Amino acid sequence: MNIAIIGSGLTGSLAAISLAKAGCRIDLYERLSDEELINRERTYAITHSSRKILEKLGIWSELASLMVPFQYLNVLDYELNNYFQFLINDLKPSDKKYSTVGWIAEHRIIMAFILKFISNVDNINKIPTSVIPNTKNYDLIVAADGSSSNTKKKLKTPSFNFSYDQICITVKVLLRGVKSNEAFEILNSEGPFAVLPLGGDIFQIICSQSIAKGKYNMTLSKSLLLDYLSTILPSGIEPDTIIDEPNSFPINFVFNYSFYSGKYLYLGETAHKLHPVGGQGLNLCWRDVDCLTKLISIPFFKKNYSLIPITYSLSRLVDVLSISILTDSLVRYSRSNFNIFSLPRKCIFYILRKSSICRRFILNIMTNGL
């Protein structure tokens, strides 16, 4: 089967490897150089669903050695002044044996690794261009050209989207008073924020807040930004040094009504974009890749490949929808007016703190999808 993939971000690149391994001939179109693809300041939470996909492709063990595992995911609600932890024991038995709740990966490291891997796969042909390929030359076209996809615009594919009226600030910080194997999800009235371990005392803070406050914080000197961070971090955790330049980006939600149009399939952020703080974005993108690879490997679809787009679109619906709703609920929970919603918040938190069955249920959806 001849497949064109538009976009060589983490979704398109992994799709190229996975589909090439399934026997397809791949033309991989990308407008940026490898250096530009690698040089992005992003940090991802990697779940067991991604671990399983990378294991199938034979690239997990090498990649895992470049990531930072964490054993504790602390969820703090500042309004309730309460917390609970997701632990290894809350995972399914098959995931528990890895002795980690998840892994933290820096974009530069995994992108460089995956691009190097692609250069050794025979049936992937990299084409450096932004011109959308001619459909006649391919059996299927995978659009993985990101959330502002030109392919989607050209095909006029409708989507549900809105802006969170927030921006996200990411900053790498040296912290004192925190273990190197714990991550935090903090529910704060400004918006949720995450603290992710990057090894040793270094942590990535991903902090969502109102546009006005975020813009103001981005004008602060590093020492004033450190002071601000010390006011929002849990007591006992002290920010010591800012390691890199802080970054900020607007946050919006995108959900395509359909994940295909004719012989075009939408994968990754072309199809769905979530609030980054849930740590689900990249894992969901890679589950798209896994779903498409499974369909293409079924003998029936090798002969009837025109049925792949609609089957793929229907197969991805439940997982993408449920993770989108869960992530959005987390943001709304965090920003809800405590005076009005204090009772439901107390109930939800009490249940998750006390019931290991509920914690397992939520963690399993977050880590393996539906």
Ligand X SMILES: Cc1cc2nc3c(=O)[nH]c(=O)nc-3n(C[C@H](O)[C@H](O)[C@H](O)COP(=O)(O)OP(=O)(O)OC[C@H]3O[C@@H](n4cnc5c(N)ncnc54)[C@H](O)[C@@H]3O)c2cc1C
If binding is defined by CB under 6 A, does position 16 make contact with ligand X? no
Is 274 in contact with 221 (CB distance < 8 Å)? no
Identify the residue whose tokens are 């009235």.
189
Is 284 in contact with 319 (CB distance < 8 Å)? yes
DSSP letter at 134 equals P
114, 118, 167, 206: residue in contact with ligand X (rule CB under 6 A): 206
- Closest separation between CB of residue 195 and ligand X, Å? 12
CA–CA separation, 44 vs 106, rounded Å? 6
Identify the residue whose tokens are 């049936």.
123
Identify the residue whose tokens are 């538009």.
6
Which residue number places its CB atom closest to ligand X? 9
What 3-state DSSP class applies to 172?
strand
- Residue nearer to ligand X on the CB measure, 10 or 330: 10
- Closest separation between CB of residue 87 and ligand X, Å? 22
Window contacting ligand X (CB under 6 A); options: 3-11, 94-102, 117-125, 253-261? 3-11
- Residue nearer to ligand X on the CB measure, 7 or 309: 7
Is 228 in contact with 217 (CB distance < 8 Å)? yes
If binding is defined by CB under 6 A, does position 282 make contact with ligand X? yes
To the nearest 10 degrees (0 to 180), the angle between helices 10-21 and 107-118 is 30
If binding is defined by CB under 6 A, does position 42 make contact with ligand X? yes
Contact letters (x/-) for ligand X, 145-184, by CB under 6 A? Answer: xx---x-------------------x--------------
Tell me how many residues contact ligand X (CB under 6 A). Answer: 31
If binding is defined by CB under 6 A, does position 197 make contact with ligand X? no
- Residue nearer to ligand X on the CB measure, 43 or 100: 43
Window contacting ligand X (CB under 6 A); options: 7-15, 117-125, 172-180, 258-266? 7-15
- Site residues for ligand X, window 90-149 (CB under 6 A)? 130, 132, 144-146
- Residue nearer to ligand X on the CB measure, 32 or 64: 32
Window contacting ligand X (CB under 6 A); options: 4-12, 70-78, 223-231, 357-365? 4-12
Strand residues in 267-331 grouped as ranges (E) = 272-273
Q: What Rg do the C-alpha atoms of the chain give, in angstroms?
A: 21
Q: How far is CA 34 from CA 8, 37, 118, in A?
A: 9, 5, 11
**Closest C-alpha to 152, from 141, 163, 140:** 141
102, 192, 214, 276: residue in contact with ligand X (rule CB under 6 A): 276
Q: For residue 94, how many other CB atoms are within 10 A of its CB?
A: 10
Residues at the contact surface with ligand X, assessed by CB under 6 A: 6-12, 29-32, 37, 42-44, 130, 132, 144-146, 150, 170, 206, 249, 268-269, 276, 279, 281-282, 285
